[in-house]
């Protein structure tokens, strides 16, 4: 046991060492920082928002801030514009370290392990210098009126220097622009005076236009009022004339409407009476047709009942006739078979007697007579057994045959369906279903029974129908009682002849 532990000790130590390295060297970088692991490999490994392993002692890990930073860009001294006016500009820029691999590589050389405040302080001087250069190329009016263009030029100028440091400029906004001599305020005052002058002139012109417009409006209003009164008087006169004409027309139309209403009322009354008479006639005809249809239905119902009773009676008579015919045939066959068996038994008895006489003549009369008697007894027993079998078949042959057939039908159906049990899968189309499959098995069984009918002359359907017909006709029950023959006594000597077996009694009960 100790040897096994000692042999496994190096493996255990290696596993423990790997576990310690994993536990001590496991690091996980947040999304806004880049963890740079360097030491063993030529290229440093950068982790942003994911986990990694740092090998203690052999590798080191440094951090680089990737979040957004705000840089305040303000000219500490006045900067002359292109038109030699000293101005002071206050702007704000949003920057960050480029998340691309090349940007992180460049930024790592300049801002590794620095806080965001330190990074913005390092970038402030460079951005201020770029803004001073852009101010020198623009006039005071351009800087003050088009600040978006000014900020875009500052971003374009500063982006070249920032790319070298791995910095990406997100936006740049101009906050305020001032000058030392208050020229911007004076330009505003001049513009204010000009605006006030133009406003006063515009107001005087507007008052004049309003007075002219009011006088013209009053004149047009008076003319419109006189014209409107004239038009109203003319319209009122025309209205009175039109009212008189319309009244005359209305009276005439009213008289015509009254006459037409009376005529229309009489026509409608006549149409209603005609429609009522036609409806009564149609109702009487429909009632007569309904009565005739009911009589026809009742006649067809009576005919169907009479026909059904006649068909049932005819079917019963046919089944009774077939049953009687089948019974007579079986009786005849049983009698013929009985006569044949009796003749054969008598022949065997005669042969046995002849043989016994021959044996007596040759000097072995005792032995031969015993054997002859034994043969005769055996022949008589066989004859009696055949006779009993024939008599039994005669008495209940139909029931026996039907019973044998009924016992054989399940076995026949099993053999018919047995091939289907060896089939893995059955696909049915159309109306195929389990009921259809069962119908196919029943049809197969029916074909087997028809084969029995054709080959052996036994009509299974007729047997079953005859038995049912016999029951319906009140056929008499038949009972066969067969008395077994008494056992034969053994011969006690060569001269002892076997006792002749008694014929079984036949009893018929009706």
Whole-number Å distance between alpha carbons of 54 and 65: 19
Residue 59: the pLDDT is: 85
User: Percent of the chain, pLDDT > 90?
Assistant: 5
Taking all residues of the chain, what is their mean pLDDT, rounded to a whole number? 76
Q: Report yes or no on whether pTM surpasses 0.75.
A: no
| 445 and 502 housed in the same domain | yes
Which of 136, 161, 181 is the C-terminal boundary of a domain? 181
130 in Cβ contact with 154 (< 8 Å): yes
| 350 and 499 housed in the same domain | yes
Which of 134, 164, 181 is the C-terminal boundary of a domain? 181
SS3 (DSSP) at 41: coil
Band (pLDDT 50/70/90 cuts) for residue 71 is very high
* pLDDT tens-digit series, residues 305-315: 888 888 888 88
| 75 and 25 housed in the same domain | no
- For the segment 243-257, the average pLDDT, to the nearest whole number, is 85
Asked if the model's pLDDT at residue 69 lies above 90, the reply is yes
User: Percent of the chain, pLDDT > 70?
Assistant: 69
Question: 293 lies in a domain?
Answer: no
| 96 and 31 housed in the same domain | no
Asked if the model's pLDDT at residue 481 lies above 50, the reply is no
Band (pLDDT 50/70/90 cuts) for residue 191 is low
Question: 425 lies in a domain?
Answer: no
| 79 and 41 housed in the same domain | no
Band (pLDDT 50/70/90 cuts) for residue 95 is very high
Residue 487: the pLDDT is: 42
| 366 and 398 housed in the same domain | yes
Count how many domains the chain has. Answer: 3
Whole-number Å distance between alpha carbons of 192 and 212: 30
Q: Residue 39 carries which DSSP code? A: S
| 32 and 164 housed in the same domain | no
Question: 239 lies in a domain?
Answer: no
Segments forming the whole domain that contains residue 153: 66-181
With CA atoms as reference, report the closest residue to 62 among 113, 119, 118, 117.
113
Question: 322 lies in a domain?
Answer: no
- For the segment 233-238, the average pLDDT, to the nearest whole number, is 87
Question: 206 lies in a domain?
Answer: no
| 144 and 8 housed in the same domain | no
Residue 208: the pLDDT is: 83
CATH number at residue 153: 3.30.479.30
- For the segment 309-335, the average pLDDT, to the nearest whole number, is 85
| 81 and 50 housed in the same domain | no
Residue 87: the pLDDT is: 87
| 491 and 346 housed in the same domain | yes
| 73 and 142 housed in the same domain | yes
Question: 147 lies in a domain?
Answer: yes
- For the segment 389-395, the average pLDDT, to the nearest whole number, is 55
Which of 144, 162, 181 is the C-terminal boundary of a domain? 181
103 in Cβ contact with 134 (< 8 Å): no
Question: 292 lies in a domain?
Answer: no
Q: CB under 8 Å to 497, separation ≥6 — which residues? A: 369, 370, 373, 491
Asked if the model's pLDDT at residue 141 lies above 70, the reply is yes
Residue that the structure tokens 């899968």 belong to: 425
SS3 (DSSP) at 90: strand
| 453 and 346 housed in the same domain | yes
- CA–chain centroid gap for 333, Å, is 69
Q: Between residues 218 and 482, which one has the greater pLDDT? A: 218
Question: 299 lies in a domain?
Answer: no
Residue 477: the pLDDT is: 44
């Amino acid at each position: 046991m100790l040897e096994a532990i000692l042999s496994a000790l190096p493996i255990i130590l290696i596993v423990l060492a790997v576990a310690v390295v994993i536990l001590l060297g496991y690091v996980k970088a947040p999304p806004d920082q880049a963890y740079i692991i360097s030491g063993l490999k030529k290229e440093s490994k950068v982790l942003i928002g994911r986990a990694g392993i740092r090998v203690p002692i052999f590798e080191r890990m440094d951090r680089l801030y990737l979040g957004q930073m705000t840089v305040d860009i303000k000219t500490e001294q006045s900067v002359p514009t292109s038109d030699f006016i000293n101005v002071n500009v206050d702007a704000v820029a949003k920057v960050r370290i480029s998340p691309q691999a090349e940007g992180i590589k460049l930024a790592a050389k300049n801002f590794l392990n620095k806080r965001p405040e330190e990074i913005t302080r390092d970038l402030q001087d460079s951005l201020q210098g770029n803004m001073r250069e852009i101010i020198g190329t623009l006039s005071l009016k351009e800087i003050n009126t088009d600040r978006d263009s000014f900020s875009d030029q500052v971003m374009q100028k500063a982006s070249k220097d920032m790319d070298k440091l791995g910095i990406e400029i997100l936006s740049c906004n101009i906050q305020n622009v001032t000058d030392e001599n208050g020229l911007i305020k004076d330009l505003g005052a001049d513009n204010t005076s000009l605006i006030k002058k133009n406003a006063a002139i515009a107001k005087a012109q507007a008052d004049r236009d309003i007075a002219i417009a009011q006088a013209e409006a009053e004149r047009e209003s008076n003319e419109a009022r006189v014209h409107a009164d004239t038009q109203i008087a003319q319209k009122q006169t025309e209205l009175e004339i039109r009212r008189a004409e319309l009244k005359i027309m209305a009276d005439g139309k009213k008289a015509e409407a009254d006459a037409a209403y009376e005529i229309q009322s009489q026509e409608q009354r006549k149409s209603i009476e005609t429609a009522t008479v036609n409806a009564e006639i149609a109702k009487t005809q429909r009632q007569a047709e309904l009565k005739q249809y009911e009589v026809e239905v009742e006649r067809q119902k009576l005919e169907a009942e009479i026909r059904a009773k006649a068909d049932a009676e005819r079917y019963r008579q046919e089944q009774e006739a077939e049953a009687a015919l089948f019974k007579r045939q079986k009786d005849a066959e049983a009698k013929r078979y009985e006569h044949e068996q009796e003749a054969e038994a008598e022949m065997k008895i005669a042969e046995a007697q002849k043989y016994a006489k021959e044996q007596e003549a040759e000097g072995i009369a005792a032995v031969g007579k015993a054997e002859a008697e034994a043969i005769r007894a055996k022949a008589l027993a066989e004859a009696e057994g055949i006779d009993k079998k024939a008599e039994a078949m005669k008495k209940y042959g139909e029931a026996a045959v039907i019973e044998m057939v009924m016992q054989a039908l399940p076995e026949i159906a099993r053999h018919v369906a047995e091939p289907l049990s060896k089939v893995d899968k059955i696909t049915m189309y159309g109306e195929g279903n389990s009921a259809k499959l069962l119908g196919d098995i029943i049809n197969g069984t029916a074909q087997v029974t028809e084969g029995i009918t054709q080959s052996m002359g036994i009509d299974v359907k007729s047997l079953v129908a005859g038995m049912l017909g016999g029951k319906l006709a009140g056929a008499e029950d038949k009972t066969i009682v067969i008395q077994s023959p008494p056992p034969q006594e053994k011969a006690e000597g060569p001269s002892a002849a076997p006792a002749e077996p008694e014929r079984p009694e036949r009893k018929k009960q009706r």
